[in-house]
Structure 1
Amino acid sequence: MIEIERKFLVKNTNFKAQATNKTKIVQGFLNTHKARTVRVRIKGDVGFLTVKGKTSESGLSRFEWEKQITLNEATSLLNICEPGVIDKIRYEVQVKNHTFEIDEFFGDNQGLIVAEVELNDENEAFEKPSWLGDEVTGNVKYYNSQLSKHPFCNW
């Protein structure tokens, strides 16, 4: 239940031609404390409740627990979330042995595109595609929980 990932800005939309999957995501946060966040997400037509723990000192890993819930439950929970809903499309791109999840944000975060790659180990090597930009792993302002409070349009 430990998630290890690295996060990057994306330089252009060339990744879209390589995407094997594309899903609309709407999410809100029931709690955005720095030691834990509780997220409600609708991904396509499926609901999820996720708890994430505090990020490690390296910024690469943290505890994550996720449970699928019904669409009705997720919709009801979104109604009681903290202000600031995240609206995005997630693209999945396979690059050799790794899947990059690229989030193109809309609404108050329009113009922001971020890619994440999950790893099995903090030192695991992976190929960086040409559309990958600067690394922002561990930079709290790029966490979705923070984007809901301090959106990209206000930077």
Structure 2
Amino acid sequence: MVEIERKFLVISDDFKFEAEEELRIKQGYLNSHPDRAVRVRTKGTKAFITVKGKSSESGLSRFEWEKEISPEDAEELLKLCEPGIIDKTRYLAKSGPHTFEVDKFFGANEGLIVAEVELSSETEEFKKPKWLGKEVTGDVRYYNSQLCKEPYKNWKNNLL
């Protein structure tokens, strides 16, 4: 299974008017190596374990495998994760035939809001909502696995 997505900064809260759903997410990494990451996530009332491979050179695609697990198992696994648990609310906002996953972060990543859109190919066109800002696809600083290690609060003042 290959995941193809593009990631953007969000420049306004207008996405909330288009959001059809919102979920609280807590996630941690059992392994956050750049070539492979193993993530544990609670998402609303469900929980998952996910394995992600190394990103392509463009940063647009990578292998992803995910399996649903019990919320109780996820809570136990989160205790074993590397330091830096991610806490965020995800909003699902439609734009044409696509759904953008907009993540508003809390804690050490407070102030960061990013949106991702999954595509069927690296060249697929999509309607860009007015609340999307700069594209950060492939910028590893914005990977959740990196935000655990180097939170947004530590580097946001160094952005160009």
Residue of structure 2 equivalent to 1:31: 31
Structure 2 counterpart SS, 1:20 = strand
Q: What is the count of residue pairs matched by the alignment?
A: 155
Residue of structure 1 equivalent to 2:89: 89
Residue of structure 1 equivalent to 2:130: 130
In the superposition, the TM-score normalised over structure 2's length comes to 0.96
Q: Distance in 2 between matches of 1:132 and 1:89?
A: 17
Structure 1 counterpart SS, 2:42 = strand
In the superposition, the TM-score normalised over structure 1's length comes to 0.99
Displacement of 1:67 after TM fit? 0.2
5 Å matches for 1:73-112? Answer: 73-112=73-112
Identity between Structure 1 and Structure 2 (%): 63
5 Å matches for 1:6-17? Answer: 6-17=6-17
Q: Which amino acid in structure 2 is aligned with residue 62 of structure 1? A: R
Q: Which amino acid in structure 1 is aligned with residue 147 of structure 2? A: L
Is 1:120 the counterpart of 2:120? The answer is: yes
**Structure 2 residue runs without a partner (length 5+):** 156-160
Is 1:65 the counterpart of 2:94? The answer is: no
Structure 2 counterpart SS, 1:108 = helix
**Structure 1 residue runs without a partner (length 5+):** none
**Could you list the per-position Cα deviations for residues 42-86 of structure 1 after superposition, in whole angstroms to 9, with x for gaps in the alignment?**
001111000000000011000000000000100000000000000
Q: Which runs of 4+ in 1 moved over 4 A?
A: none
Q: Distance in 1 between matches of 2:132 and 2:16?
A: 12
RMSD (Å) for aligned C-alpha atoms: 0.4
**Could you list the per-position Cα deviations for residues 100-125 of structure 1 after superposition, in whole angstroms to 9, with x for gaps in the alignment?**
00000000000000000000000000
Q: Distance in 2 between matches of 1:74 and 1:45?
A: 11
5 Å matches for 1:132-147? Answer: 132-147=132-147
